[in-house]
Structure formats: structure tokens, C-alpha cells
Amino acid sequence: MLPPLHAFICLLFFVSSSISSHSSASSVHSSEDELSQMLSSLWHMDSEHRKLFHNEFRISSADDGDRLVAVLPRPSVLSRPIVTAFGQLCNVLQSVNPNQSNNNSLRQKIDSFLAEMDKSPIFKKASEFYSAHRLSNSKSFNQKFRSLWFFPSSAIPFGSLMCRFSAFSGNWLSFISEQKRMNVKRLVVERESEDMALVEFGGSDAGGANAAATRSNAQPQRRHFALGDSVEFELSALTLCALLRRERHQQKKRCTFTMDEENGQTELSIEVQTSREAGDEHTRHILRAFAFVPLKRDGPSSAPISVDDFSSAIPEKRDGGRRSGRVGTVAAKRWQSMGTNKTMGRSKSMPSLRGPTNIQQLVDQMWEKDTERVDESVVRVDWQQHIPSRRVIDVSDSPFLAVSDESFLQRPIFAALVDIYNEQLFHPPVCQGEAPMNEQRRAKFDTLWALITRSEIYRMAYDYLDRLGKVDGLDFDAFTRQLFDRWFGAYTRCGTCKNGKCSRHGGPLGSSGWEHVFSGEWRGEIVDGHHSWVRFYLQEKAGDIEYHGYYVKPRHGQFIGTIQYKWKQYLKRIGGFMIGTSPAFDFSMLTVCILTEPGDRKCKFQLKETPMFVSSFLEDCVIDGSFRHNFCIATAYPGIGNSNES
């Protein structure tokens, strides 16, 4: 999700498999490099799943202070058939006696889960790789997989290792289902790509089902786990390593693979232990899973830091979200040398010296990273007639925007924006006061806010502002909270006049920057704000917008326009917006300009050889009942050349 930094992560899993005694490491012929390349390939295949996870989940703080992974509404990750089968299998494994080998329900759930695994491209690729490197008389990958994870019947390892989260077992799915009982004390998101986490927890049942491994409740437990990887990736990677990695001592197997080209290697360490199953030859079954700490290798002598050594490297508490100047112990210094470390999504690094140094470079990079932008072939602009000078005249007969495929509205970030519009959370008349921004009202914006502020584009904007010293010394999470107040803080656009003098103060709190820019308002007989192309399209489609014509259009493409129209009976004489861009791009671009170059057409750059500007202004406002001078966003809008919008 974010630009990668060099990091080495090593994960240690202790495994024993149900492989016959004659199926030793000598029965396979893959080299260490080949296996590493395959695991790296599987990790890259899984990137879309991790991306989807980060669009639908966020890290939050519960009322009791626990740090949790929160599930946003309609999480498609959890509705995948393989995840459903995984959950149903775990439910049965935790409710039935594994000794009941004739339990039909259990067998059905195992078969259903394995059937879903068989459909997975990742599992199929792992199977093909194994087939190419096994002996001709060896069992297939599917058979080996089943025996590894679902035998011996007296102690099926899958349930204890995958379905319960403890210091030695479980994944992010089991963490989410059990986190509320775990007394999570700290949750650290690691790596710029946010695909690893360190959790510190303890409580009445903090050790999960593995009682032998559970420490005293007085001492918090810590472990790493991957964030957002798929079930099929995790199980396929572990199985390949257990079956193909050759070591001098067959019980201990360590696999490494590169998570991304610029981020070094991640060590996956799997230990296989043999035990005898009654009536069988020696078999191997999974014993436990455990993780070491990520570290940056300085040379061949570098060694993993143990979890116990890492206690001093866990990020310190902060004072109001501002950065602590203290680095910590040697372990912490080694960790922080890797770059950004996040606790609850907060940046722990000092401002990066890398990255764009001016607004033009930043906009160019954000434009390239706007993967949610809708293609011009999908959103078509019908400019029609040009409006001369600044006349109010309707010279066009057809709608301004036409969409050939509305499937983009089902993407999480667009769907969340549409949900806000459908909720009708704002009243267009500026003299009608808006509801206070209490917790219930704030929660209605949580989904969209999380999707925007966890986007790569927003992170680029924060890093740029951080380098320029425009974040008031706040870390990522504290700055994001403050930004919510600046965009949603209430102010009045409904002035009062007395003895010939007019003032805005004292009027109803009927406006906010967010409402003005992304929803739009009515003031007198005119439209104020209204700078969201999605909002415009939906209203024009519903018959509420009457397009008059355009003033200015870009030299190339159709990504922005300055136009005239009516919203119901209210006139927007000169207005406009970006077209096709994602909500994350619009929000991040406007925010950067507001905080670096506020004022009338002060923030200037080019897109597709078209000179552009952003005008923005601040306003006195009220936040949580307290008056803030010149703190909140009054308006922010893009324009072309010498257009003059409002």
C-alpha cells in the first residue's frame, strides 16, 4: 500500500507432517533458490487479496482501550467462499471431539475446505511446483497437504494451529474473531506496505487453546502475524516449505522468500517433528507456530532478534500523538533503522528525505498512483457549447456526463461515498443548522474516512506535508484525527446584518468544508461549493442537474472542466471539479494545497500539459462546542487557467 523500505522479516513456524518415514528430504529435488522464488511468486500472486483487506479493515481503539482490527461494513474479504469454508471448519473443529473419526459433519467441512483450496490459483501453482520436484512414487501435493494438516485424527493440527489465536498459533482471521477476549495492549503495524503486525496481549484467556505454551497472565505475550494474506497463500507456503526444504536435521526446516524487490527477504522457518501414530509408521504433525522479529540485515552475521529481546523495541506511548525524541535500546535502534514503524497506523519515523520536493512532483506521483481512477472510456464528457464571457445562458441540450459502466460505484471507496449521499447527512440550505458531530454522526463517515486515509495517495500527501513541516509535529494518526476536525468542523455561511454592518458570526452552524466541497450547498439563489464529480453525476442522472455549457476545458483529455449549470432552481454560474478521479485523490490533493498554499489560485501545477490551480480558504469554526479561529476548511476547489470558481 505504501512505498516499500528495506526490511527483513523472519517468521518461525514449528511443524511436523504426516509424511511416511521414507518420504524424507531426499525424495525432493528443489534447490533453496527455486523454493524461495516460488514462495515469492505466491506472495506476489496474493497482493490483490492484501490490497482488498486494507480497503476493508482498519486499526482502531475500543472504548476500553484495547487495540483492535476493525471490520468495515460489507467486507468482501470475509465473504469469499474459502474464508466461509475456513470459518465453518474451525467452528466444527472447536465443537466436536476429534477422536470421533466417523464424525460426518467434520469430514464434510474438511472436504468442503479442501475443495475450495483446490480451486485457488495459488494452491494450484504450489501443487504444480511440488509435482515438478517430487519423486515419481511420492504422493501428490493434495494428499500430502491433507495428511500434514488433518492427521492424526486424535489431534488434528489444523484446529489448534489455524483456528485459535495465541502466542504460538493462529492468523489474522483468528485474531479478528478472538481479539476482544485477548486484552490487546498494543498492535504495531510494520513495514511500509502494512502487511505485518506485532501484537502484545494478555488477559484471562490470552494464550488461546495452547495452554502448555501460555505464559503467566502477569506477563504480556507478543507475536508477529501477517495482515491480510489469504488462507490459501499461508497454507500453501507452509506446506511447500515443510515438504521441499532440505536440512541436515530433517525436523528443522527454514525457508526464505522475498516479499518485494525493494524490501529484502522474509524468513519463513518451519520445524518438523516426528511422532508415532498408533498402528502407523512414524508420521509428522504440526506442533506450533511462532515468529521472530523483523530486522534489517547488515551482513552475514546478522541474526534474528528474539521476541523477548524485542520488548524494548515496542514503540513508546506518546504525548498527544506527538513524536517522542527517544529512540530506545539497541534493539529499538536496529528496528527503527528500517524506516517507518506504525502503532495504530501512526508514523514513527522522522520526515523522510526522499519523495517529491514540490507540489508538481507530488501531483504527478499521486496521479500515477490513483489506481481507483475511472477511465475516460467509462466516464464520457459531452462538452457541447462554450459559454462566452460570464453570461448566464443555457446553450446545451444534453447531459454533461455519461457513464457506460457503473460497476466502479461498487468499489469500496466509491460505494462508501455514495452511501453518505444516500444517507442525506447534510441539508443543502446554508442557513439550516447541521446536526452536531457526535460519535453517532461521526460513525456514519467512518467507512469512507478510513478508506481515504489508508490509501497510498493519502499517505503520500501526509509524507509530503511532514517533510515541509506542515503537520504541527503530529504523527500520522494524530494528524488524521485533526484533519477530520478541520474538514468537518461546523461554521456559518448565513450572515446577520445590523445597522448596516454584516457579519457571519452568530448565524446557524449550517456548513463544513466537507459538506461545501463534496456535497454542495444552497445560499440564496446560488449553489455554493459542489466540487465532486460523483455527486454531480448522480444528481444529473436523477434529473436534478441542468447542464448549461462550459467555460474552460483541458488541453488534453477530459479530467477537469469549468462549467455552468443549475441544481434544481439554484444556479452554479462558474463551477467545476476533477472528473474520473478517486475520492482519495481529490481529498488528498485539496488537503495538500490547503495546508501549503492557501488562498485564491495560489496552489499551481500542471496535469496533462494543462495549467491548473487550487483555491482554498480557512474559516472560524466550532469543534466539540469550542471555537477555533481560522482553523477549519471553508472551501477548496480546482480550476483551469484563469477560471474563477467558488
Q: What is the structure's pLDDT at 267? A: 55
Q: How many CB atoms lie within 10 A of CB 156?
A: 23
State the DSSP string of 527-555: EE----HHHHHHHHHTT-EEEEEEEE--S
420-477 tens-digit pLDDT: 999 898 989 988 888 888 888 888 898 899 999 999 999 999 999 999 999 988 999 9
**C-alpha distances in angstroms, 86 versus 147, 175, 515?**
17, 14, 42
Query: Quick one: which of 99, 147, 626, 67 has its CA closest to 345?
Result: 67
Q: What is the structure's pLDDT at 433? A: 87
**C-alpha distances in angstroms, 312 versus 278, 306, 344?**
46, 11, 18
Q: What is the structure's pLDDT at 137? A: 62
Query: What cell numbers appear for 504 in the block?
Result: 457571519
Q: What is the structure's pLDDT at 252? A: 56
Q: Are 75 and 57 in contact (CB under 8 A)?
A: yes
Cα–Cα distance for residue pair 327/336, rounded to 1 Å: 8
CA atoms within 13 A on the CB side of 313: 24
Q: Peptide bond before 152: cis, by omega within 30 degrees of 0? A: yes
Contacts of 472 (CB under 8 A, 6+ apart): 479, 482
Query: Quick one: which of 152, 185, 147, 170 has its CA closest to 90?
Result: 170
Query: Quick one: which of 601, 599, 588, 609 has its CA closest to 638?
Result: 601
Q: What is the structure's pLDDT at 460? A: 94
**Which amino acid is located at 530 in the chain?**
H
The position carrying cell 461554521 is 491
Cα–Cα distance for residue pair 340/462, rounded to 1 Å: 13
Q: How many CB atoms lie within 10 A of CB 118?
A: 13
Contacts of 550 (CB under 8 A, 6+ apart): 383, 384, 385, 386, 387, 561, 562, 563, 564
* Interaxial angle between packed helices 412-423 and 583-596, expressed in degrees from 0 to 180 and rounded to the nearest 10: 80
β-strand pairing of 501-503 with 496-498: antiparallel
pTM, rounded to two decimals: 0.51
Query: What cell numbers appear for 448 in the block?
Result: 469512507
Q: What is the structure's pLDDT at 104? A: 79
Q: What is the structure's pLDDT at 466? A: 92
What's the 3-state SS for 552-610?
ECCCCCCCEEEEEEEECCEEEEEEEEECCCCHHHHHHHHHHHHHHCCEEEEEEEEECCE
β-strand pairing of 265-271 with 9-14: parallel
Q: What is the structure's pLDDT at 201? A: 82
For 276, the enclosing helix (H) or strand (E) is: strand 274-276
Q: Specify which residues 30 forms β-bridges with.
A: none
For 436, the enclosing helix (H) or strand (E) is: none
Q: Specify which residues 431 forms β-bridges with.
A: none
Ranges of residues in the chain whose predicted pLDDT is under 50: 1-29, 101, 204-217, 248-250, 261-264, 272-283, 286, 289-320, 322-353, 497-503
- Sequence ranges of the domains in the chain: 9-347, 359-640
54-81 tens-digit pLDDT: 777 777 655 555 567 777 666 778 888 9
The position carrying cell 503530529 is 474
Query: Quick one: which of 493, 492, 459, 474 has its CA closest to 591?
Result: 459
